[in-house]
Each structure stands twice: as C-alpha cells, then as structure tokens.
A and B are shown apart, each in its own frame.
Chain A
Amino acid sequence: MRYKLLLAIMLLFSVLLPSNAQGLAGTVTGTVVSRIGREPIDNALVQIYSEGQEIWSTKTDVAGRFWIVNVANGNYMLSFSADGYAPSMVNIVVEGYEKDLRFISLLPLNADRDELDASNFSELDMDDSGYNDNPTILFGSNDPYTSIAGYGFSSIRYLNRGYSSETQDVYLAGVRLNDAMTGLSPYGLWSGLNEATRSKDTSIGLEMADYGVGGFNGTTNILAVPESVRSGWRFSVLSNSALYRLRLMATYASGPLDNGWSYAFNASARLGGNDWVEGLYYRNFAFYGGVSKKIDPENSLALVAFVSPGQRGAQNASTQEVYDLMGDNMYNSNWGYQNGKVRNSRVRKTFEPVALLKYDYTPSSEFSATAALVFRTGWNGYTALDWYDAMDPRPDYYRNLPSYSYIEDEDYNRANDEKAAWAAEMWNPAISAYSNYQHINWDRLYNVNMNNPDGRSKYAVEERHKDQNELDLAGNLKWKASENFTLKAGYSLRLNRTEYYKKIADLLGGQYYLNVDQFAERDFAFDESKIQNDLDYYLAHGTAEKIGKGGKYGYDYIARLRKAEVWTGGEYTRGNFSATASARIGGESFWREGLMCKGLFPESSKGKSEVRSFLTYAGKLGLQYIVNGGHRIAADVGYFNDAPTFEQSFLSARTRNDIVRNLTTVKTVSTDLTYQYSNGGYNARITGYYTKRMDQTDLMSFYDDSQNSFTNFAMTGIDQRHMGIEMGVKVPFFVEGLTLSAVLSLGEHIYTSTPHMVQAIDNSAEIIRDEEVPYWQSHPVYKVWKIEDGVTYYDQDADGYIVDHYQKHYVPSSPQLASELALNYRTNSYWFFELNGQYFAHSHLDMNPLYRTHFACSGGDGVETPSEIEYMAAQEEFDPAFLLNCSIGKSWYIKRTYNIGFSLQVNNMLNNTWVKTGGYEQTRLIKSAGKDRYYRFDPKYFYMQGANYMLNIYFRF
C-alpha cells in the first residue's frame, strides 16, 4: 500500500499504452486471493510480460478481481504482487476469448513475521536519553530496504537517514497527529493496538501523500477505520524476554456487511518484566472500538475511539564505571527493593483516549473527499524522585563511586585510594547486603520521612504531567481532472491546550511536601519569598503550602497552540513520465500561560507570555520515469519552513515566560534520487539523498560547576547535513522459496554550523554567556611535534600551533552505516525460516554543547592548549557491532477455516551485551589539581540487550 501512488501512476500509465496491444484478441481475468483464508487481495499489482518485457499492468479491485483486455494471442507470463505477499508467476496462453484464471492465491509474506511485531522492540522507554517509542520506519512491503530497516534495525535504535523522529509525519485517518509540543510521532497513543492500526498508507522520503504534502522523512497514515481491520476473529499470546513477558490480544472485525455497517474491536494487555533490565516492566492495556456506515455509495461515516492506558517502568543510563562495577551493562539505577519487592522510581503512567469521526464522500471514481475530526484528551505522567535538602538518593550519584575518591592521573587530585576501595566494596554485586547502596534505598527514604518530627517528607515521588487536550480537523480531496492530471488539496486545523505540572504521587511515609524551590534556596536561603513556588499562596497564608498526595506543586503552566494550514498538489503523467508538485502554507502560534506565581520571577512566571507566530510553508517537486521491464527512476526535491516547537522555544518554561532569543523557523532543503527494479521476484532499490536542516534550536538545563548554579542553555542556529545512499536487493536464491536479501545504508550525517549559545542562571535569568559554540561542528586536530614519555608536544610556527585537520562532529545516536544480509526460506506447507546478520558502524555519542566552548577547553587559567581542545571537544564513536538473528514459524489450517500458528524469533544470538545504542555526555566539569584545565565527567550509555526471544502463538477464524 506504500506504493499506492506508484501503483496509481502505473495504472494511469498502463491506460495510456493501448499501442502495445498487437491486434485485438483475448481478455485475461481472475481473482487474486490470499492463500490464508482465501480473502480477496485488493490493490495487487498484476503485470503481464511477453518475452521478458512488461507490456501491461493493472491492479485488482476490492474484490481482488482484475481484467486485462485486448491481449493478443500468444504466450505470456503473468506476475502478481501485493503488499505483504510473496509474489507469484503464472504462464498463460491467450487464444482469443476470455481467459479466466479463477483464483490466484498468494502466500502472505508476513503471515508469520508481522505477528512478531518487531516494532514492539522499539517501544522501550528511555526517556532521559531522548528516546521515544517509535519504530524507525513503519512500513513493511516488497521494498527490500524498508521492510528490513523498518523491522530489523530497531534494536540498535536506527534512525532512518539519521533523521530524528519528529521529522516523520504520522497521520491518523488523514489527520497529522505528531505531538503538538515536541513534534514527536504519536505512536504511544495506540501502542498495543497492533491489529487495529495495521493497515496504513505510507510514502517514503520526499514522496507526496494523499493527505498532505508530507515532509522529507516519509509519511505514514494509519487508516484506523473498522473496515480496514482484517475481518474475523484473531487471538494471540505473545511472550518475549526483551520488553514484557506476556501480551494477550483479541481482535474482531466484521468487514463490510451487506447493510453498509462495519465494526471492529481490538484489545490487548501487555504485562511483566524482561530478562535483561531489572525495573523495566509493562502493565499496559489497550482498547479500540470502531463502527462505520456506508450510507450510500457516495457517503460513509466512521466513528472510532481508542485508548492505551497503563504504566511502564523506565530505564536509566549510567556511566561505564557503574556498569563495570556491577559487571552488567544492563544495570538500571532507577529501582530499589522495598520490603523485598522491586520498585521503580521512574514509571510512565498514561491515559490518553482519542476519538475520531471521519466522513468520506465519493461521488464518482474521479473525485473523492474526506473530512476527519480528532479529539484527544487525558493525562500523561512520569514519576521521579524529588527531595528537599537531603542526601541525593540516586545510587549511581557520582560521589558514591570509586572514581570520586581515586583516579590514577594525579592531575585529577583524587588520591584517596583507600576510600575508593570502600566505594568499590559497596558496589560488589556478589554481596546482596549491599543492594541498598547499589539500588535505590527506599527503606532509608521512608525512615527519614517517618523520623522527621514535623511530618514533612524530605523525599517524595513526584509525577510530572503533560496533559494534552487537542482538537484536529482536516479535510482532503482528490480529483482526477483528466486522464493525465490529478489534483489533491486539503486543509488542517489544530487547537492544543497542554498543561504541564507536577504532583505528589507518593509521600513515602511522610505527611506532606512543602511547596518551595530548593534550587532557589541555594542562592536565596535568606529570602523566604524568593524560594516560593507559589508566591500567591505564601502571601495569602504567610507560609508555603503543605502539599498532600495528589496535590499539584512545583510548577504549573499551560501551553496553547493554534495551527492552520492549506495544501495542494498535482500529479501529471504523460507516457512513461510523471511529475508531482505540491505546496503548503500555514501559520502556527503558541504561547505560555503561567498558573503559578514563582517567588524568583513574580513578574514573568504567571500569566500569558508573548504570542509567537510563525508563517510556515513547504514545496515539493517529484519526477518519475518508468522504463518497461520493471525499472523506475525518480527524483524529488523539497523545501520546508517549519515553526520551532513549543518545548524548544522557552528558555525555562517551568519557571517563566522568557522566550529563546532569535527564535526562528527551521528550514530544510532535501532531495533524493531513486532507481528501482522490480521484476520476476527480483527487487532492488537504490536511493541517494541529500538533506540540509538549518536554524534548529536546542535547549537544556543543567548544573554548571563553574557557576555553582543550575543554568538554562539555549543553542540556536544548529545546522545539519545528511547525505548518503541506501540500497536493498532481494533475489530468489537457487531453491524455490529461498530468498536472499541485502540492505545497506551508508550516510554522512554531520553538523555544519557554529551555533550561538545563551546561558542563563535559572534562579535569576541573568545571562552569563552569550557567545558562539566554536567546536560544535568540528574541532581542530593539531600537528604533533613529538611524543615523549607519554606527553604530546605540538608543533608550532610563528602563528602558534598548527592545525593538521578538522575532525567533523556527527549527528548522534544512530549508526551511519547499517547493513543486513538475510536468508529467508518458506515452504508451501507454511513453514518459514530466516537467518540474518547485521553490521552497524559509525554511531556517535550525543554531544553536550558546554564541552565545545572556549570556556570548557581553556580551564581555570583561561588558556586553550591543543591537548585541552582535542580532549574536551572530541566526540566518541561507538564500536561497530555485528548481530545475528533468526526466526522460525509455522501455521496450520484446520478445515480451511481455523488457522493456528506460531512464530519464534531469537535476536542477538551472539549475546553481545557490549553494543552501545546511545547515551549522553554529562554537562559537568572536574577542575584539575592545578586548576589550569577541566576534565569531563564520564558519559552515560545505554546498551543493547543480549540474546532475547519473542514467541507468538495465534489463532484465527
């Protein structure tokens, strides 16, 4: 279905080719059905070949029927292919008349594989690292690259072409639903509803979609209406060792009934922990219900509602020192024992229902229009420990580690090896009595609270909320104005109100939590009004509020967003050539509305901020040429001007209305060139791409050791360039049913600008640095004169040190070389086997801007030396990784009605537990003994889980 556009073009193209008929003779007709359940397959591509040359193609209708008319007498080969099915070929002889091939059955390609739901592997929640629960690419099809990269690369957290998740447009029934505040794709809203959301239209790269101009990283439109859910009953039990133990799922869809109604439901439960990361667990449920009515041939209406509520324990990154001490790269610092039970301090709890009303109007085969209204509401909370004027409760806090007392290099001024030995002893994983030091010591937190004479909790579990209410309205039309021109157009409106606040989830044995800002207290301990989170309450009552369980505290503000957009696109075909052009224009406004008056910022914390409005627009052009015989060449180019997101626009939205200076739109120019071949079971595609993103903003808040203060850091003017090639090949391999696939993605995704930074003290908004980040895009590597006794001496000339070359810095957290070789075997008795090897390389650690400043590279003496720059500004590249995975499956049919089967997938068979999938640099600095230079804190990493399995057993009728 991903190639709907392509198929449509091909269909049009085929209509334009009457000259190929060599004398009117016969007609070929038939019905393409699934070998499983004999369901008709619509949109299947039927190609007819004569002497190896494709002479015609068409696609099947909703009943799976196809007709090829005016076929001259002779011998032909017919090829059938459809999304999700193994292609099939039939030799036929046309001798006049109508030749009815009756049923052509295709073996579902992913009958077993899609039950694996490899996309589930991407749902790991690693919030702190910026991870999100999105599949890398959400489509499976005959395109070998996307089917493998979409499923198979998720364990390494592969980002397609290095693009971050918010560049992928995700639509629900034609309504773009990317998160209004962050732009991130919204898969979490329907996670666990795999059956109900399985049907989707997708486009890749810069291709235009039916429901919008789309971006440069593909679009996905989840159909979501009940008639798109596969009909019948489906039950499955899934167990895996990487995410959760158990998934139970039930689905029923009526399919289109004679009276015009369709209805469907889908429910699932995902429960339990996993083999690798303690504390990581699921307790999620998901429900989907939909009903639609085809009122008459022209009008139909659908109403759908779904929700995926539940809770999930999250994982945290730690430094390599901690992993080594624990002897486990899967160590998770988020949990501890409470009364012998594992308790995770970081749990995501969500309840975000979505309702969809969709209207379809199809007055003729040339014209169709849809309108859809989406409403989302509910809450999204994420717990964390909060504490006030008490010891840091995090077990892997840097002061608890041996390296805080002892580092071999004397310049660190950490010489207490005896104390380090005590710390190392405390981290001995073999001694269970030490688990209170190695994990969160809940007992201590309770004891502190219970012993506090005034009942005040010094430790509490907070729940950070981001509760969205959103109304979206979108309308799209498609009009085939003439044989070779189709017009598409649409509009979209979005209203969003998101409240950000935190509340007390658990007082941990105390009576109340006091609503004061302990970071403010560091600087303003003597000024009670300044440390108030809620100054109004303080002024009214003379004291800070005592917050009980469930009470809001800390911060509370609303983000409001308004967005409107119109778009249009045209598709022109002539002969083998086709062209598409599309454009959109719109506006987006947002502002902050503070609900709490903060003691530090009585003027700027409460009330409405300035409204920021942005004009957004984009344009795209695509050209395509199809060569007979299954060749296709396509080129696309696009320019995009998009608003920054709310969450990247306020310097410290938590406390005040200050907007990032020089805030501007993000500009993107992107182009790609594709060659594709698809014929006789052979599939190949190669695409080259070039994308430049400009004027991006990044915000962070961190403790700055040089200021002894919590600071806000805004970096503007970040440019990136992504270029590379991706290719995929799938070929039949000697034996029938055996195929070999190979994919390769090789890119260079780099930073190309010197951004500007503004750093402000969080407690005062005072700007302390306002300058460039000179070593962000690269850092100089100096010419070495000699190395003596381990000391490097750099060459100098009259102008000082000599730069040998500049080392580029890369867009992080995804391998820039990703490849797979897969061998796939399926039998006619419904067995399938797959073995694949994957190789990933050139993945880099996310950089923090502080380490790329003159300030950090010069140290206390203010003098930058080559060795300081090369040490401080360098970016870590992860080791390459080789992975081996396999899967096996089988299904059985009982009386042609019941279908029972299983599939088993084993990932990372070599049990590599040293593969870094991401992480981040800490933003802190260590002063050297002589105070003349800085050292870095160790970075924190996430690792890929070792060998894991996923077993699925299903039953359908």
Chain B
Amino acid sequence: MKKYIAIFAAVLALCSCQSLKEEFQPVFTGEYQAPDAYRYYQDSDFGKIITIAQLASCYKTGNPFEMPAGDKKYSPTDEQKALLAGAVIKGTVISTDKPGNFYKSFFIQDQTGGMEIKVGKNGLYNDYLPGQTVYVKLDGLTLGMYGFKSGNYGGMGMVQIGFADPSGEYETSYMEIGYLIDKHILRGNPAEAVPAEPIEMKESDFPDGKTATQAKSRFVGSLVTIRNLRYSDEIFCLLYLDSNKDKKSYTNRIFLSDTNGIEKYGKTHGIKTLAMSESQMKEYLYAGCWDDCLVGSGNEYLLDDNGNQVSVGMLRGDGSYPAIEKAAYSVSQYFSTPSGIEVQIRTSGFCKFANYPIPADVLDGSRRIDVTGILSIYNGSFQFTVNSADDFVYSDTKEKLYK
C-alpha cells in the first residue's frame, strides 16, 4: 500500500509545480467582452502641425523625396527640412471610397488645401470616417506628384503623400503595410467628426493648371462646389485589348479621344453614362459605337498583316469583339464653366453610379449642373471626382440629378 501512497504523493507534487499550472491554463471559451475604443489623438499630442500648403510648397516637380530630408538623389532646402522635421499635417477627411469612385486612398483638407493620402487599402471609409480629423506624421513618408506633364500641352499634377516607389514608375507608392499606415496616420475622435462643407468655387478661383498646386491654391485637392457647368460633348477613355498584357504598349491600347474615330458619334463616342461597368461597356461596344476607333496610341498604330491600321470594327468577330477586353472602364466626361474653363468629371467604372446616364437635358446643353467633389489637376487640366451621385444637382432648381 505504501507504494500507492508514494505514487499518489508524487502525482500531487507534480501537479503543484508552477510549470504544470502554466501547462494547464484553461482556454477561454466564454462570451468575449467588446474591446475598448481606439486611442484618439488631438492637437496637443503633436509638437508641430504644418499646413497642407506649407507641405506642398516643399515639393519640386520631378523630385519626390522621403520626408523630412530626402536622400542623395534629391534633398529639399534646409528651410524645408527644418519645416518638415517631426511635423504632422492635420485635416478633415473629405472623400469616401464607399460608392467606389475613390479607391485605396482618401483626401484630407485644411484651410489651405487638400491632400491625397495613398493608403493602399480597401474600405477606407470604415477606418477614416468622412468628417473625421486625421493627423499624418510625415517622417518616413514620401512627398510626390501624380499627373505632371511637361511641355505646351502639359501642366501640373497633384502633390500626394505616399511611400517611396523605387521602381520609378510613379513618384509615390501606396503605403499598404498596416504597421506603416498606423504609424503615420492617426485618428481624431470620430464622435467629433463634422462633415466638411464644400467650398463654393467661382470661375475666378480656378488657378493656372500649368503652375498651380496645393501650395498656391486652397481649392486644389479640396472639396468644392462648381456651379453652372455645361456639357461639352466630349469624353476621354482608354480601353485595353488585354490587361494581362503590357498596358503601356500601343498595340494594346484604344483611345476614345477627341481625334480617334469620331466620324459617327463625335467626341462623345456614344457614351452617355458617367462611366461604364463591364456590362455597360459591352453594350456600347456591341452597338458598334467605337468601330471607327483605331488601336494604337500617339502616332503609333497597330497594323494587320497587310499593313493596314486596325480599327475596333475589324475586331468585331462574331459580334462579341473577342480580341477586346470586356471590363469596367473609367470615363472623363467634359464640362465647361460659363466662361469656358474645361472641367473633366472623371468617374470610375467600378463605382455604384458608373452606369448612371447623364440626363438628356444636360447632354443637349439645355440645363446646367452644379457639382460637388474634389478638384484635382492632371497634366494641367482640371479633373473633378465626386463622392456620390448625390453630388450632381441641376443649377436652376437645385434638384438632384439622381434621386
């Protein structure tokens, strides 16, 4: 019997060991309590808040750099370095990717201008609510520009904040990495969020697209309302034969532009919707709207075996245009202010209102519209991106175009 007592004692001794206690920690399987709210930030958490205009003024075209000091390739002036060192910008979130017209980035604005933050994630409106205050720590992020083109037909693009892009394809890349994002983008309390009031933009407020950036105009990158826009019977859209192939090759591109194949449908190419989803694109394509457009870009055109330029119509096949990729495409619809300033309203083919038709009375120029959205500059031209279909109203009655 002694033996059993000894065994029993041994087991008991083992069970009292600390390591065994750890080994036998129970797994929690009960009801989980909701976690605490995020930590929210306020101005006092930061040493130096600079304005978006101040930030944009540190950018020199063609020279993206990592803030604050750049590197061997390019470094800003000492003054700029001093300004940027340890600085944050603060702004209100003015864009939403909820309906899908913005994608992977959002805009903030302060009193001096607006700035795109290239986050690189989906569903950003869940994490950065419209109207919420956001602080962006600049150290380690890259200041760059998208859409600059030199020469007579070019002009400024938009100053943006993103991460370095060593491939050189763009001046900035999306941040993408959760830790990188959370280290740099800090939230104010969403309970205090107040959606931004759009700024009324008069014709005289339009800056010079050749030279202006957020550094010079508070309207650039901001949420603005432009009134009395009239449809100018022109669109721009770039189609691909196959997006699995090189998208930059002229053999893969079809420009629906103001010069290519405009005989039958004019410069609108028959496109009467804000943009086109895949199904809408097929409708236009199968109707033969673009049959006269040539495959190619610039002055280079795709040639067939006989040396003839290839048009979309030649690719009709059995009626389904097998050689052309059916996909959603973004479209720029051109409008102009009463004094003739051109504003391209650019809408994504993936957004919820992509297929919304532009009303006939707008298309025929008999009625004008007021539009609220984010003003940007691309190659010196004004591009306009709306958050939702509610942002279009008739100028005369102030009724929404899309109810």
Chain A interface residues (CB < 8 Å from chain B): 239, 241, 245-246, 271-273, 275, 281, 283, 311, 313, 338-339, 341-343, 389-392, 399-400, 404-405, 413, 415-419, 422-423, 425-426, 434, 437, 442-444, 446-448, 450-453, 458, 509, 522-526, 706, 708, 860-861, 892, 894, 900, 927, 930-931, 953
Taking a contact as CB atoms closer than 8 A, the residue among A283, A425, A443, A526 that contacts B35 in the complex is: A443
Q: How far is the CB of B218 from chain A (nearest CB, A)?
A: 28
Within the assembled complex, what's the spacing in Å between the Cα atoms of A452 and B327? 32
If A271-B27, A416-B163 are given as contacts, then 9 extra A-B residue pairs at C-beta distance below 8 Å, sorted by A number, are: A245-B24, A389-B122, A400-B177, A419-B163, A422-B177, A452-B126, A524-B279, A526-B353, A708-B327
Q: Cβ of B246: which chain A residues have Cβ within 8 Å of it? A: 860, 930-931
**Complex contact B34–A509 (CB within 8 A):** yes
Q: Cβ of A400: which chain B residues have Cβ within 8 Å of it? A: 177-178
Q: How far is the CB of A446 from chain B (nearest CB, A)?
A: 5
**Complex contact B26–A272 (CB within 8 A):** yes
**Complex contact A437–B163 (CB within 8 A):** no
| B 103-132 to A, binary, CB cutoff 8 A, 1 in contact else 0 | 000000000000000000111001101000
Q: Is B356 an interface residue (CB 8 A)?
A: yes
**Complex contact A426–B167 (CB within 8 A):** no
Within the assembled complex, what's the spacing in Å between the Cα atoms of A245 and B27? 10
Given A343-B32, A415-B167, A416-B163, A706–B122 Cβ distance below 8 Å?
no
Q: Cβ of A434: which chain B residues have Cβ within 8 Å of it? A: 179
**Complex contact A423–B38 (CB within 8 A):** no
**Complex contact A860–B244 (CB within 8 A):** yes
Given A405-B176, A458-B123, A526-B277, A416–B166 Cβ distance below 8 Å?
yes
**Complex contact B126–A458 (CB within 8 A):** yes
**Complex contact B244–A525 (CB within 8 A):** no
Within the assembled complex, what's the spacing in Å between the Cα atoms of A366 and B28? 57
**Complex contact B167–A451 (CB within 8 A):** no
Q: Cβ of B173: which chain A residues have Cβ within 8 Å of it? A: 416, 419
How many B residues touch A, CB cutoff 8 Å?
54
**Complex contact B351–A416 (CB within 8 A):** no
| B 70-96 to A, binary, CB cutoff 8 A, 1 in contact else 0 | 000000000000000000000000000
**Complex contact B277–A418 (CB within 8 A):** no
Q: How far is the CB of A936 from chain B (nearest CB, A)?
A: 16
Q: Cβ of A892: which chain B residues have Cβ within 8 Å of it? A: 3-4
Find the B residue at minimum CB distance from A855.
B244
Residue among A239, A522, A526 with max Cβ neighbours from chain B (10 Å): A526
**Complex contact A446–B122 (CB within 8 A):** no
**What are 11 A-to-B residue pairs whose CB atoms are below 8 Å?**
A389-B98, A391-B126, A404-B176, A423-B180, A426-B178, A447-B38, A450-B37, A524-B277, A525-B100, A526-B352, A930-B246
Q: Cβ of B4: which chain A residues have Cβ within 8 Å of it? A: 892, 894, 900
Within the assembled complex, what's the spacing in Å between the Cα atoms of A688 and B380? 78
Q: Is B403 an interface residue (CB 8 A)?
A: no
Find the A residue at minimum CB distance from B167.
A415
**B-side interface mostly:** loop
Within the assembled complex, what's the spacing in Å between the Cα atoms of A7 and B167? 75
Within the assembled complex, what's the spacing in Å between the Cα atoms of A413 and B248? 15
Q: How far is the CB of A20 from chain B (nearest CB, A)?
A: 50
Q: Cβ of A245: which chain B residues have Cβ within 8 Å of it? A: 23-24
**Complex contact A391–B123 (CB within 8 A):** yes
Q: Cβ of B354: which chain A residues have Cβ within 8 Å of it? A: 525-526
Q: Cβ of B356: which chain A residues have Cβ within 8 Å of it? A: 526
Q: Cβ of B179: which chain A residues have Cβ within 8 Å of it? A: 422-423, 425-426, 434, 437
Q: How far is the CB of A699 from chain B (nearest CB, A)?
A: 25
Within the assembled complex, what's the spacing in Å between the Cα atoms of A273 and B28? 10
Find the A residue at minimum CB distance from B98.
A389
For chain B, residues 38 to 80, give those with C-beta under 8 angstroms from any C-beta of chain A: 38
Within the assembled complex, what's the spacing in Å between the Cα atoms of A422 and B354? 36
**Complex contact A419–B38 (CB within 8 A):** no
Given A272-B27, A405-B177, A523-B277, A416–B164 Cβ distance below 8 Å?
yes
Given A283-B27, A416-B164, A418-B166, A339–B32 Cβ distance below 8 Å?
yes
Q: Cβ of A894: which chain B residues have Cβ within 8 Å of it? A: 4
Given A389-B98, A437-B178, A927-B244, A523–B163 Cβ distance below 8 Å?
no
Within the assembled complex, what's the spacing in Å between the Cα atoms of A390 and B127? 9
Taking a contact as CB atoms closer than 8 A, the residue among A423, A458, A526 that contacts B355 in the complex is: A526
Q: Cβ of A446: which chain B residues have Cβ within 8 Å of it? A: 34-35
Within the assembled complex, what's the spacing in Å between the Cα atoms of A339 and B33? 7
Within the assembled complex, what's the spacing in Å between the Cα atoms of A415 and B176? 14
Q: Cβ of B127: which chain A residues have Cβ within 8 Å of it? A: 391, 444, 448
**Complex contact B167–A419 (CB within 8 A):** no
Given A389-B98, A390-B122, A342–B177 Cβ distance below 8 Å?
no
Given A390-B126, A526-B352, A342–B244 Cβ distance below 8 Å?
no
Q: Cβ of B129: which chain A residues have Cβ within 8 Å of it? A: 451, 453
Q: Cβ of A246: which chain B residues have Cβ within 8 Å of it? A: 24
Q: Cβ of B165: which chain A residues have Cβ within 8 Å of it? A: 416
Q: Cβ of A522: which chain B residues have Cβ within 8 Å of it? A: 350
**Complex contact A413–B98 (CB within 8 A):** no
Given A413-B167, A525-B351, A283–B176 Cβ distance below 8 Å?
no
Given A442-B35, A446-B35, A281–B244 Cβ distance below 8 Å?
no
**Complex contact A419–B176 (CB within 8 A):** yes
**Complex contact B27–A448 (CB within 8 A):** no
For chain B, residues 325 to 364, give those with C-beta under 8 angstroms from any C-beta of chain A: 327, 350-356
**Complex contact B32–A341 (CB within 8 A):** yes
Q: Cβ of B25: which chain A residues have Cβ within 8 Å of it? A: 272-273
Q: Cβ of B38: which chain A residues have Cβ within 8 Å of it? A: 443, 447
Taking a contact as CB atoms closer than 8 A, the residue among B11, B24, B121, B245 that contacts A931 in the complex is: B245
Q: How far is the CB of B215 from chain A (nearest CB, A)?
A: 26
Q: How far is the CB of B182 from chain A (nearest CB, A)?
A: 8
Find the A residue at minimum CB distance from B243.
A708
Q: How far is the CB of A220 from chain B (nearest CB, A)?
A: 32
**Complex contact B355–A418 (CB within 8 A):** no
Within the assembled complex, what's the spacing in Å between the Cα atoms of A929 and B147? 22
**Complex contact A860–B100 (CB within 8 A):** no
Q: Cβ of A339: which chain B residues have Cβ within 8 Å of it? A: 32-33, 35
Given A241-B23, A525-B354, A338–B35 Cβ distance below 8 Å?
yes
Q: Cβ of A415: which chain B residues have Cβ within 8 Å of it? A: 166-167
Q: Is B190 an interface residue (CB 8 A)?
A: yes
**Complex contact A419–B244 (CB within 8 A):** no
Q: How far is the CB of A717 from chain B (nearest CB, A)?
A: 28
**Complex contact A417–B166 (CB within 8 A):** yes
Given A281-B27, A343-B32, A390–B123 Cβ distance below 8 Å?
yes
9 interchain residue pairs of minimum CB distance? A426-B179, A390-B123, A281-B27, A860-B244, A443-B35, A525-B352, A422-B180, A448-B126, A341-B28
Q: Cβ of A390: which chain B residues have Cβ within 8 Å of it? A: 122-123, 126
Within the assembled complex, what's the spacing in Å between the Cα atoms of A927 and B26? 47
Within the assembled complex, what's the spacing in Å between the Cα atoms of A953 and B245? 66
| B 177-188 to A, binary, CB cutoff 8 A, 1 in contact else 0 | 111100000000
Q: Is B29 an interface residue (CB 8 A)?
A: yes
Within the assembled complex, what's the spacing in Å between the Cα atoms of A413 and B26? 47
Within the assembled complex, what's the spacing in Å between the Cα atoms of A419 and B25? 39
Q: Is B291 an interface residue (CB 8 A)?
A: no
Q: Cβ of B292: which chain A residues have Cβ within 8 Å of it? A: none
Q: Cβ of A442: which chain B residues have Cβ within 8 Å of it? A: 32, 35
Within the assembled complex, what's the spacing in Å between the Cα atoms of A523 and B23? 50
Within the assembled complex, what's the spacing in Å between the Cα atoms of A339 and B164? 35
Within the assembled complex, what's the spacing in Å between the Cα atoms of A708 and B350? 12
Q: Is B139 an interface residue (CB 8 A)?
A: no
Q: How far is the CB of A126 from chain B (nearest CB, A)?
A: 18
Taking a contact as CB atoms closer than 8 A, the residue among B36, B99, B123, B164 that contacts A418 in the complex is: B164
Q: How far is the CB of A729 from chain B (nearest CB, A)?
A: 37
Within the assembled complex, what's the spacing in Å between the Cα atoms of A474 and B35? 53
Residue among B35, B38, B353 with max Cβ neighbours from chain A (10 Å): B35
Q: Is B234 an interface residue (CB 8 A)?
A: no
Within the assembled complex, what's the spacing in Å between the Cα atoms of A931 and B244? 6
Given A245-B23, A272-B27, A416-B165, A451–B190 Cβ distance below 8 Å?
yes
**Complex contact B123–A273 (CB within 8 A):** no
